[in-house]
Amino acid sequence: MTKNCINVGLIGCGVVGTGVANNLVNGTAQKRHLPCELKLKRIADLYPYKERAYKLPLDLFTTNADDILNDPEIDIVVELIGGCGIARQVITKALENKKNVVTANKALLAEYGPKLAALAKENGVDLYYEAAVCGGIPVIKAVREGLAADTIKSVRGIVNGTCNYILTRMGKDQMAFDDAVKAAQQNGYAEADPTFDLIGKDSLHKIVLLCANCFGSWVKPENISTEGIMGLDQIDIRCAYELGYAIKLLAWAKEKDGKLECMVAPTLIDKSSMLAKVSDAYNAVEINGSPIGRTVYYGEGAGMDATSSAVTADIIDIARNIYSGSVGRLPVFALDKEIEVVPAPDMEMRYYLRWKTDDKPGVIAALSNVLTERNIGISSVILHEFAKAQPYSIVTFMTRETKEAKIKDAISELDKLGCIQSKTVMLRVESGF
Amino acid sequence: MTKNCINVGLIGCGVVGTGVANNLVNGTAQKRHLPCELKLKRIADLYPYKERAYKLPLDLFTTNADDILNDPEIDIVVELIGGCGIARQVITKALENKKNVVTANKALLAEYGPKLAALAKENGVDLYYEAAVCGGIPVIKAVREGLAADTIKSVRGIVNGTCNYILTRMGKDQMAFDDAVKAAQQNGYAEADPTFDLIGKDSLHKIVLLCANCFGSWVKPENISTEGIMGLDQIDIRCAYELGYAIKLLAWAKEKDGKLECMVAPTLIDKSSMLAKVSDAYNAVEINGSPIGRTVYYGEGAGMDATSSAVTADIIDIARNIYSGSVGRLPVFALDKEIEVVPAPDMEMRYYLRWKTDDKPGVIAALSNVLTERNIGISSVILHEFAKAQPYSIVTFMTRETKEAKIKDAISELDKLGCIQSKTVMLRVESGF
């Protein structure tokens, strides 16, 4: 069973792939006492000659992934192509060929996770994916191993570095949304087309994987209410700050009365909380378990270096399994129950509502009447002083816990009021983590 | 090789032991898909009948540890006696009898770690100790597995909940040191005799274990300069706050020019940093690695629940090893090099100096002359306004990077000055993490 050299094949040598290849070729990955040799045997990429951040031996390259997938000497296939197309074929074939797989592909796993996990099990190989959720934070390992004795009550995280960078610039530097997006692009924190991050899709994929590990249940992405930060107004960052909150794009889930509440949305969180302190492109995940209590894991969310660390740690983990004959030691996802997901309209949260209104008497009364008629409790009303020189008013309400259906019904009524100059802005407020 | 039931014997059923036994007996520990049964077969404690937080089956108890150590059916021995006396005998005998061991005993490991690790290896068994460093934070797992691909540059942590609780009360509630200690005792965060925590000894043991895992080198406790928070003055908390810092008891180590700097001391850290936000009895560890970057792990440092989670996760981890035939999969400590530890006098840091002085002209000049004569740069001088109604002055200096030998020499001279009414208070200031 024991092998003295574990061979790795890397498919997809872009930014992260280059980092991983460098880790393996330069041997830093082996420093931490792996009992066997770890060898990068082959790299498949369509562009062997393109310029990369690290120089890699050209003779490792092939343009044909099958040179790796069909090589009987290769023990671990690292898929870093991304997306649900070729990557899916590559991983499927690798597993079918009884090769262990390491991937950072959250989109693919969120869509096909249970199928791929079953395929891995069927073929008696490992499928590791630490890098798929917050590259520079070993949070999958923390949940499924470090917290193995715990029942997880809730998980919430800032899991998208692009959005967090934008929100940080909007908060600290009072930038407008568009300017903050540009700043993110100029600093390499956002893609040329950052839509995927901004609409919350990337965060959605990560919370699916976190849910599987925290709750032992597979939540389909389409069952998770998802809102991004697209077009968030600087005014709301400011109003939230005055109310004692930071706005963060949160992906969260919690068990409540045997059901699961799960959501991705820009959310007001207490300024003094650990998560509110997470700035720039950093990520953090907070997990509340029993008996362990509240834990937080913080680090860089993405980028070549942080992500390559996670991928390489997975390779080392699997290499240990191969060496010690314990492949399959951990289930890919330990799914053992189906938890009903509470539909968004039935979820109870607190809400932040904001309007630009006419500057005239009766506005606050008109707004609050709509809520009072629906029995929605209000915990804060502010007509904001900072807009005093303007020909309009800025008004915010904070509600007490209310079902989303109820608040949405109220909003449709509020938006009909003659005294408001812009439609209601509604944001969630954290509660009960 | 495969066993369908792994038997656990618990030796020492105090607070944490009761938590662990409860986890095992009530089966929550097995929820996360362990492929085999995990059974608490026996508990050894001198007081089977004493009242415990959870009811445990009385027939599990014995007063004789040998009933566990000599039971051929027991696979994992959990040592929760503590201290370096009987606990050492118990662990030694367990390892010699080829039983895997889980312990939370930092004092024992800091003193005899390498010997016990060698004994475990010799007998082909595992020795796990996640609970020895920050119970509610899976930081040992994070370092030795999650960051397996990384070269660690530095580690620093708030690793003693008692001290952090006291410092939080002194900071947030402006309590005097003695009152804060009493508050900690009343709230169950400090022992009746809290000396061991207050002098930094507990933090010292933890940084020894962190160093072994981060740097692959065993640092002897006696080579680590250790100061606690005993007698810390409320005035210094206040002055530090005005300067933009919080005072935390930090245990830290970093590699510098191939040598290791390592220390336990109350330290001024930037108020806006993640670690400065760690309040009450919570702990946090910050690790800076390459390529992963900066990561932080946060959670409860001690207590029955958090610590029992860590012990139980270790039991599960070893059970997986036993089940999959991969005991010894990870080295106890992956020690592969001896790094020279820089003696404290040669370490360069920034310093905070504070005096109660006469309220008369020339004081600042006299103080700064002593530093200037020794070529010690000064980055801040404040005669604090808050003491304006007093018949004395409060003066603080912040120095630039200076060797400790030099600052101590200066202090011996400063303490001779006629204008100061109290000896120099010297605290370290964080730099370069």
Side-chain half-sphere CA neighbours of B245 within 13 A? 21
Q: Which of A159-163, A187-191, B11-15 has the lowest mean pLDDT?
A: A187-191
Q: Do A256 and A163 share a structural domain?
A: yes
The domain spanning residue A167 has which CATH number? Answer: 3.30.360.10
Mean pLDDT for B248-265 is 96
Does the structure show a pLDDT above 60 at A1?
no
Q: Do A86 and A148 share a structural domain?
A: no
Tell me, yes or no, whether A179 lies in a domain.
yes
Q: What is the pLDDT of residue B35?
A: 84
Reading the block at residue A10, the tokens are 């890397």
Contact across the interface for A300 and B290, Cβ inside 8 Å: no
pLDDT tens by residue, B339-371: 999 999 999 999 999 999 999 999 999 999 999
Chain A residue with minimum CA distance to B328: A324
What residues of A are in contact with residue B299 (Cβ under 8 Å)?
A: 292-296
B287 CA: distance to closest CA in chain A (Å): 9
Pairing assessment for the beta strands B61-62 and B127-128 based on DSSP bridges: unpaired
B376 CA: distance to closest CA in chain A (Å): 35
Interface test with B, best of A145, A217, A269, A317 (most B CBs within 10 A): A145
Percent of chain A clearing pLDDT 70 (strictly above): 98
Q: Do B194 and B102 share a structural domain?
A: no
C-alpha to C-alpha distance for B312 and B320, rounded to whole angstroms: 12
Q: Do A113 and A161 share a structural domain?
A: no
In order, the DSSP letters of A89-139 are HHHHHHHHTT-EEEE--HHHHHHHHHHHHHHHHHTT--EE-GGGS-TTS-H
B18 CA: distance to closest CA in chain A (Å): 12
Tell me the C-alpha to C-alpha distance, in Å, between residue B357 and each of A178, B420, B423. 55, 4, 10
The phi and psi torsions of B372 (rounded to 5 degrees) equal -60, -40
Active site residues of A: 206
Q: Do B246 and B153 share a structural domain?
A: yes
Mean pLDDT for B324-348 is 93
**Surface-to-core class of residue A28, CB atoms within 10 Å of its CB (0-12 exposed, 13-18 middle, 19+ buried):** middle
Residues linked to residue B402 through DSSP beta bridges, in sequence order: B349
Tell me, yes or no, whether B331 lies in a domain.
no
Work out the pLDDT band at A3, boundaries 50, 70, 90: confident
The domain spanning residue A316 has which CATH number? Answer: 3.40.50.720
The domain spanning residue A380 has which CATH number? Answer: 3.30.70.260
Q: Do A266 and A172 share a structural domain?
A: yes
Q: Is the dihedral of CA B373, B376, B377, B379 positive or negative?
A: negative
Does the structure show a pLDDT above 60 at B1?
no
pLDDT tens by residue, A237-262: 999 999 999 999 999 999 999 999 99
Q: Do A229 and A171 share a structural domain?
A: yes
In order, the DSSP letters of B140-153 are HHIIIIITTT-EEE
Work out the pLDDT band at B433, boundaries 50, 70, 90: low
Work out the pLDDT band at A31, boundaries 50, 70, 90: low
Tell me, yes or no, whether B244 lies in a domain.
yes
Q: Do A157 and A56 share a structural domain?
A: no
Contact across the interface for B149 and A328, Cβ inside 8 Å: no
C-alpha to C-alpha distance for A326 and B328, rounded to whole angstroms: 11
What is the residue range of B87's domain?
A: 5-135+304-323
Q: Which of B291, B323, B355 is the last residue of a domain?
A: B323
Chain B residue with minimum CA distance to A271: B277
B146 CA: distance to closest CA in chain A (Å): 5
What residues of B are in contact with residue A246 (Cβ under 8 Å)?
A: none
Q: How many CB pairs under 8 A join A and B?
A: 203
Contact across the interface for A298 and B298, Cβ inside 8 Å: yes
| pTM for the predicted model, two decimal places | 0.96
Contact across the interface for A149 and B308, Cβ inside 8 Å: yes
Is the ipTM beyond the 0.90 threshold?
yes
Contact across the interface for B146 and A130, Cβ inside 8 Å: yes
B373 compared with B1, residue with greater pLDDT? B373
Q: Is the dihedral of CA A278, A283, A288, A294 positive or negative?
A: negative
Pick from A136, A146, A216: CB nearest B138: A146
In order, the DSSP letters of A313-346 are HHHHHHHHHHHTT-TTSS-SS-----PPBPPGGG
Chain A residue with minimum CA distance to B335: A33
Q: Do B190 and B97 share a structural domain?
A: no
Does the structure show a pLDDT above 90 at B336?
no
Number of DSSP helices (H) and strands (E) in chain B, helices first: 13, 17
Q: Do B275 and B194 share a structural domain?
A: yes
Tell me, yes or no, whether A328 lies in a domain.
no
Pick from A32, A293, A297: CB nearest B300: A293
Contact across the interface for A142 and B141, Cβ inside 8 Å: yes
Q: Among all chains, which residue has been given the structure tokens 């009761």?
A: B18
pLDDT tens by residue, B165-185: 999 999 999 999 999 999 999
What residues of B are in contact with residue A304 (Cβ under 8 Å)?
A: 291
Mean pLDDT for B182-195 is 93
Tell me, yes or no, whether B339 lies in a domain.
no
Neighbours of B375 (CB within 10 A): 8
Interface test with B, best of A156, A172, A295, A308 (most B CBs within 10 A): A295
Interface test with A, best of B32, B152, B286 (most A CBs within 10 A): B32
A210 CA: distance to closest CA in chain B (Å): 14
Tell me, yes or no, whether A25 lies in a domain.
yes
C-alpha to C-alpha distance for B130 and B135, rounded to whole angstroms: 7
Q: Which of A323, A356, A371 is the last residue of a domain?
A: A323
Q: Do A184 and A84 share a structural domain?
A: no
pLDDT tens by residue, B21-74: 999 998 766 666 788 899 999 999 999 999 999 999 999 999 999 999 999 999
Mean pLDDT for A336-357 is 95
Interface test with A, best of B295, B300, B308, B330 (most A CBs within 10 A): B295
Q: What is the pLDDT of residue B26?
A: 85
What residues of B are in contact with residue A334 (Cβ under 8 Å)?
A: 32-33
Q: What is the pLDDT of residue A302?
A: 84
Pick from A19, A149, A312: CB nearest B23: A149
Mean pLDDT for B124-137 is 97
Pick from A32, A324, A325: CB nearest B334: A32
A264 compared with A191, residue with greater pLDDT? A264
Work out the pLDDT band at B155, boundaries 50, 70, 90: very high
Chain B residue with minimum CA distance to A136: B292
Chain B residue with minimum CA distance to A311: B149
C-alpha to C-alpha distance for A295 and B188, rounded to whole angstroms: 20
In 3D, which of A282, A132, A267, A292 has the Cα closest to residue A212? A132
C-alpha to C-alpha distance for B340 and B357, rounded to whole angstroms: 40
A355 CA: distance to closest CA in chain B (Å): 32
pLDDT tens by residue, B258-295: 999 999 999 999 998 999 999 999 999 999 999 999 99
Contact across the interface for A325 and B324, Cβ inside 8 Å: yes
Q: Do A211 and A99 share a structural domain?
A: no
**How does the average pLDDT of chain B come out, rounded?**
95
Number of domains in chain B: 3
Sheet of B37-44, strands arranged across: B61-62, B37-44, B5-11, B76-79, B100-103, B127-128
DSSP letter at B343 equals P
Contact across the interface for A23 and B294, Cβ inside 8 Å: no
